[in-house]
Amino acid sequence: MIDLRSDTVTKPTEEMRKAMARADVGDDVYGEDPTVNRLQDMAATMLGKRFGLLVPSGTMANQLAIRVQTQPGQEVIVESKSHIIRYEQGAAGALAGVQLHWVSGERGIVTAEQVEAAIRPNDPHSITTALICLENTHNAGGGTIYPLATIEKIRTVAVKHAIPMHLDGARLFNAVAATTLPPTAYAQHFETVSLCLSKGLGAPVGSLLLSNDPKLIERARRFRRMYGGAMRQAGVLAAAGIYALERHVARLKTDHDHAKKLARLLQPIPAIQIAPQHVETNIVIFDILDEGRSPNELIATLKEQGVLINAIGGKSYRAVTHLDISESQIEEAAAAFTRILSR
């Protein structure tokens, strides 16, 4: 089966499994797991931060960042199709008691002018803007890379208004691989950064919350416990993260090449609307114009042909490349699309 539903479906490589089996472990709730501590220090150093915290998921990392930088009744600025809005079960409202101010970006990218316009005025009638969240790369935007110059301009606005910033960097290393910019170039503009290990990097579990502020990380550690995310001998999982950061970052460029090839192969199919030039990393979003079959029917037909993708609303679909997908499988997947859409 050619599974293009998400880069979350990646499985640990044999060598990663061996690293997990060899991991030195302790009780991470006591801060005594040496492999977890090494992973947290490694990731923090890579992003130019001083402190890191291992958590089970990217959603938890984002929600901890929101919780420790806001108060109930405040507002957080986010792009309208961001992961925080679409895929985190309304957690910001349920857990932190904040409301989200949606700003519609271009393929997920908002401008400094849009952010400044969204900041609430300082008067007794208005809710307080407490945090600005950006997502890089932007999932629903199609793996879009946030231009560094745009981030810098938004940072200037944030500093002007004394508002902290959080980066949902679940796929930050995809941006790094595509641009060759160091991760510090992006991370330096944010008080907190989340980083996912279990997408393109190929670890089975885990994300990190990173910051220069020890008080933020200590508060996040306490809320991690409250949210049910504290783990004991988590070094088994941390070892996979270390392996991924050491060996799987550079290869992300291969996933990007595969995504771009898939887009080029899909473009000639009359029933598909796609803009190959918008494929910047490992996510391919396209429309299928097929009045005779529903999205569920198309998904089922593709599955019969050995290809798995996701419908994402309306006539739109998403395919995501990752380390378990080869170039020949990209060609096979494109051939399957051609077969079923020519019927």
Quick check: is 71 in a domain?
Answer: yes
Distance (Å, rounded) from C-alpha 321 to C-alpha 216?
34
Specify whether 103 is located in the same domain as 232.
Answer: yes
Distance (Å, rounded) from C-alpha 61 to C-alpha 229?
10
Quick check: is 3 in a domain?
Answer: no
Distance (Å, rounded) from C-alpha 248 to C-alpha 256?
13
Residue 92: is its pLDDT beyond 90? Answer: yes
Mean pLDDT, to the nearest integer, of 151-175?
98
Residue 226: is its pLDDT beyond 90? Answer: yes
Using 50, 70 and 90 to split pLDDT, how confident is the model at 70?
very high
Mean pLDDT, to the nearest integer, of 16-33?
98
Single pTM value for the model:
0.97
Vertex 48 angle, CA 44 and 52, to 5°: 20
Specify whether 131 is located in the same domain as 170.
Answer: yes
Please give the order of strands across the beta sheet that includes 283-288. 272-273, 283-288, 316-320, 310-313
Residue 343: is its pLDDT beyond 70? Answer: no
Q: Among 221, 247, 273, where does a domain finish?
A: 247
**Counted domains in the chain:** 2
| C-alpha distances out from residue 215 to 174, 192, 211, 218, 222, Å | 29, 12, 9, 5, 11
Identify whether 137 is preceded by a cis peptide bond (ω within 30 of 0). yes
Using 50, 70 and 90 to split pLDDT, how confident is the model at 291?
confident
User: For the chain, what is the mean pLDDT?
Assistant: 97
Domain hosting 286: range is 251-341
Q: Among 225, 247, 269, where does a domain finish?
A: 247
Specify whether 209 is located in the same domain as 255.
Answer: no
At residue 16, what is the residue type? Answer: M
Would you say 19 and 243 are in contact if contact means Cβ atoms under 8 Å apart?
A: yes
Amino acid 342: pLDDT = 84
Specify whether 222 is located in the same domain as 171.
Answer: yes
Give bridge partners of residue 283 from the DSSP assignment: 320
Specify whether 316 is located in the same domain as 201.
Answer: no
Specify whether 27 is located in the same domain as 152.
Answer: yes
| C-alpha distances out from residue 332 to 33, 228, 252, 305, 311, Å | 44, 42, 21, 9, 20
